[in-house]
Structure 1
Amino acid sequence: MEKQTDNYQLILNKLDNKASLKQEIYRNTVDVFAAAKKALSKLASRLHQDYTVNNPSVEVSYKDTHQFEAELKFSGDMLLLSMHSNIFNFEEGHRIYSSTYIKSNPNLSYCGVIYIHNFLADSVKYNRLADEGTLVARILINKEKRFIVEGEGQLGFLYESFSEEEISEEVLTHIFELAILDCIDTDLLLPPYASVKDITLHQKQTTLAASGYPTGKRLGYLFKSEVQQNNNL
């Protein structure tokens, strides 16, 4: 039998601690994501019953698209809910490390992540791959199923510290309601005419013919070359 070195024993110890910790957080995140899908589905049903039934021209629908993804369509907007399969920690110096909660057990800073993105519904419908979406919020869940939220508007400060209790379906519903309000309040704006008036024949025959104007709420609409130029600034 081979002799165990100090480094080998250290590997075993770290696997026992960190690998087990990450697996536990992953399972927690899967549980919370299932609850999030349920909350989003219920919210879609309520909106459909209370609004779409009376105004059929405005579609509200929920779709469970993937093990790690679901979507809520409401009028011209799409809320995309997705779960990352990996576990993360915060960067060194993050404010989270100053909390007594994390100081009591540094392992509590490790989190699974659930993302809430906003895309235009037409971006998904017409498969406009160049269109841009916006990260409205991300929900971070630790080994105790306690959570924080980073996001836009009220989601940027309401849940900025780890909760004192496990995340619940009621809290998830509140988060989704705020995310939907942010989407509705963010209009699609026209860019300056001069910035989109010139177009090459290549753009006309490829970009526009294939998917239309690359579009996003934060950029209005731009031609592909202009999106690339902006990304290089």
Structure 2
Amino acid sequence: MNENQDPTENIVEILLNKSSIKQQTYRNICQAFEQMLEEARVQIDIISAKTTEMDKDVKLSVEAISKQEFHVRVAGDLLVFVLHTNIITLTDEYDYNKSEYVKENPLRKYLGQINIYNFMSDSFEFNRLNDPGYLLARLLINYENHFIVEGDRQVGFMFETISEKPIEKVDLDILIKLIITQAAENDLIAPPFSQIRNITVREKMERTQSLGGGNKIGFQMSYQNETKD
């Protein structure tokens, strides 16, 4: 704001600029979400065609829950894709906000987000409300349609810095494949015998279907590491 500018006019200008940028960002993330749903359907159809020949009992499906959520069933795993309706910014500690890309244009810091969680499919089927889900990846897109993906292992490695060009179908295709692969590769691990030696009647009544159930190996390790800090 210059010295001669009315503060009210400055406020209006800021709000209009930010509002316009956020609306464009939201349109971009919505479009990416729709494309991810379509790519998920394509990949599940391809995988299903191959697995059905050998084992018809392998459960594979894609289900649109709402405009902001869809599920991908991959055998014993349920991938939950969630589109957030709010545009966010990252904390100053993120390398993204320290990058020349954002310093050059601070409006690039506004991001739409899609979170991808991994649950055990039985958790939903048997309504086990206390079963945990784990965040596999988070897709972030700005108003220029450039993107970054936070995630473990190959997902985070491939998309760890902001893209040099707007997101494309091929990017989403690769991301969907990596996420499905990561979920399929992680096996369940049962809790130690000592941890499930004693249970209460309440635990038995409330968690009959999940008593002695496992957690995903890779996610358990990541989760435990986070809680120890």
Matches within 5 A, 1:52-131: 52-131=52-131
Give the root-mean-square deviation of aligned CA atoms: 2.4
Q: Distance in 1 between matches of 2:173 and 2:161?
A: 18
Cα distance in 2, alignment partners of residues 160 and 219 from structure 1? 20
Task: Give 4+ residue runs of structure 1 displaced > 6 Å after superposition.
Answer: none
Tell me which residue corresponds to 1:202.
202
Give per-residue Cα distances to partners, 1:173-220, cap 9 Å, x unaligned. Answer: 111111112112211101110111111122223x125x5437642599
Query: What is the rounded CA distance, in whole Å, between the counterparts of 2:52 and 2:30 in structure 1?
Result: 31
Counterpart Cα distance in 1 of 2:136 and 2:17: 33
Q: Distance in 1 between matches of 2:187 and 2:96?
A: 33
Structure 2 CA distance for partners of 1:157 and 1:219, relative to 1, 3 Å: closer
Aligned to 1:226: none
Q: Which residue of 1 aligns with 2:224?
A: none
Q: Which residue number in structure 2 is paired with residue 51 of structure 1? A: 51
Question: What is the deviation of 1:6?
Answer: 3.9
- Cα distance in structure 2, aligned partners of 1:220 and 1:204: 25
Aligned AA (1:72): V
* Counterpart Cα distance in 2 of 1:196 and 1:103: 52
User: 1:149: which partner in 2?
Assistant: 149
1:228 aligned partner: none
Amino acid at match of 2:91: E
Read off the aligned partner of 2:207 and give its amino acid letter.
L
**8 Å CA contact 1:139, 1:150 repeated in 2:** yes
Structure-1 separation of matches of 2:62 and 2:93 = 39
Alignment partner of 1:47: what SS? helix
Structure 1 unmatched runs, 5+: 222-230
User: Is the contact between residue 191 and residue 219 of structure 1 (CA under 8 Å) also seen in structure 2?
Assistant: no
Report the identity percentage: 32
Distance change in 2, residues 1:215/1:191 (3 Å) = closer
Letter in 2 for 1:84: H
Instruction: Give the whole-Å Cα distance in 1 for the aligned partners of 2:218 and 2:54.
Output: 33
Shift of 1:26: 0.6
Take 1:13 and 1:61, find their aligned partners in 2: how far apart are those partners?
47
Q: 1:10 to 1:218 in 2, by over 3 A?
A: farther
Q: Secondary structure at the match of 1:157?
A: helix
Counterpart in 2 of 1:140? 140
Structure 2, gaps ≥5 residues long? 221-226
Could you tell me how far 1:7 is from its partner in structure 2?
Answer: 4.0
Aligned in 2, Cα 1:123/1:27: closer, same or farther, shift over 3 Å? same
Give the corresponding residue for 1:38.
Answer: 38
TM-score normalised by the chain length of structure 2: 0.87
Following superposition, the deviation at residue 41 of structure 1 comes to 0.9
8 Å Cα contact 2:134/2:219 also seen in 1? no
Amino acid at match of 1:62: V
**8 Å CA contact retained: 1:145, 1:166:** yes
Secondary structure in 2 matching 1:144: coil
Q: Is the 8 A contact 1:146 1:165 kept in 2?
A: yes
